Amino acid sequence: MPPRARTLLLPLAAATLLVASTIFLFAATGARWRPADTGLPVPAADFSSAVEAADSKTATAAKELSFLDENGRPDDPSSSSAAARCDPSRAAIRVFMYDLPPEFHFGLLGWAPPPAGGAVWPDVGSGPAPRYPGGLNQQHSVEYWLTLDLLSSSSTPCGPAVRVADSRDADVVFVPFFASLSYNRHSRAVPPEKVSRDKALQEQLVRYLMEQPEWKRSGGADHVIVAHHPNSLLHARAVLFPAVFVLSDFGRYHPRVANLEKDVIAPYKHMAKTFLNDSAGFDDRPTLLYFRGAIYRKEVHRVGFSVYPQQRSHPHQPSR
């Protein structure tokens, strides 16, 4: 392939991958239906003893889909405001999101609902959303960005995923628990408490989900839970494993709890500084591989570990 053709092909491939990954993240569960595997190391009593053989989606196929505005209120499809909103029937993936209490998500960021009204979510349509903490917390902030995307998904410009009001209209069910933030901030018990706030939230989440008709319908197989920090959801993962986990890797999970068959690996939020005004072409770049990260860790990154010694042995030889 000519060098100039390769120069044009690389950014095109990257853009295609970015769009495809957004759709796949939610669509990973919608492509198939599977009951909970009670043969895994989890007490069978924790799950529904039987899964309904048929869903009511067929009966509601002709019904006009409903969707939610930024405040979680169902829109009237016949209203004038609905004309400027995204049509769930045309979305690549339809998502139902639980209205979990704020202490599971934006409450962890210090947000509190207004005294009147009992809102669960911040009004992202009328002002800025609560800010996610900076520093290394940003690496695992995918939970925050996915939730914000769903809260505003009914407004234009329309994305691949749209939030719906009725779980029977949804392809997947999203669980808005900021598990990584909960671990980073509240994984240690504060005396005189015997149990950490993070563990208490996980126990509450398990009880909540086991009582929901959405979980009982599929055994949790169509649920999406973000647990991007390797230590997040530590106490609940063995019970919630039928769901699709959004993870950073599989390094600290039993293969029956997290695996390539059902789960999604999401990249860390980009933390490295980018080059400004970089117009160099393909042939002007002597180095194609650039590894930036810890060389030695608790769980060594195999690629970084194998490349680093070679570069030390041949410091003047470009990596190809």
Q: Does residue 120 form part of some domain?
A: yes
Instruction: State whether 290 and 237 are in the same domain.
Output: no
* pLDDT tens profile 97-108: 999 999 999 999
* pLDDT tens profile 307-320: 555 555 555 554 44
Q: How far is CA 117 from CA 112, 121, 122, 162, 206, in A?
A: 12, 11, 12, 25, 27
Instruction: State whether 186 and 300 are in the same domain.
Output: no
Vertex 228, ends 68 and 299: CA angle to 5°? 170
Instruction: State whether 221 and 290 are in the same domain.
Output: no
273: its two tokens: 């500084």
Instruction: State whether 211 and 304 are in the same domain.
Output: no
Count structural domains, the chain.
2
Instruction: Give 25 or 225, the one with higher predicted confidence.
Output: 225
Instruction: State whether 206 and 292 are in the same domain.
Output: no
Q: Does residue 59 form part of some domain?
A: no
Residue 94 exposure: Cα atoms within 13 Å on the Cβ side: 18
Selection from 264, 225, 265, 259 nearest residue 37 by Cα: 259
- For residue 204, the model assigns a pLDDT of 98
Q: Does residue 275 form part of some domain?
A: no
Instruction: State whether 152 and 245 are in the same domain.
Output: yes
Q: How many CB atoms lie within 10 A of CB 96?
A: 21
Instruction: State whether 254 and 303 are in the same domain.
Output: no
Q: Does residue 53 form part of some domain?
A: no
Q: Does residue 281 form part of some domain?
A: no
* pLDDT tens profile 138-164: 999 999 999 999 999 988 888 899 999
Q: Does residue 22 form part of some domain?
A: yes
Instruction: State whether 112 and 223 are in the same domain.
Output: yes
State the residue range of the domain holding 216. Answer: 14-46+66-265
Instruction: State whether 174 and 124 are in the same domain.
Output: yes
Q: Does residue 54 form part of some domain?
A: no
Instruction: State whether 257 and 296 are in the same domain.
Output: no
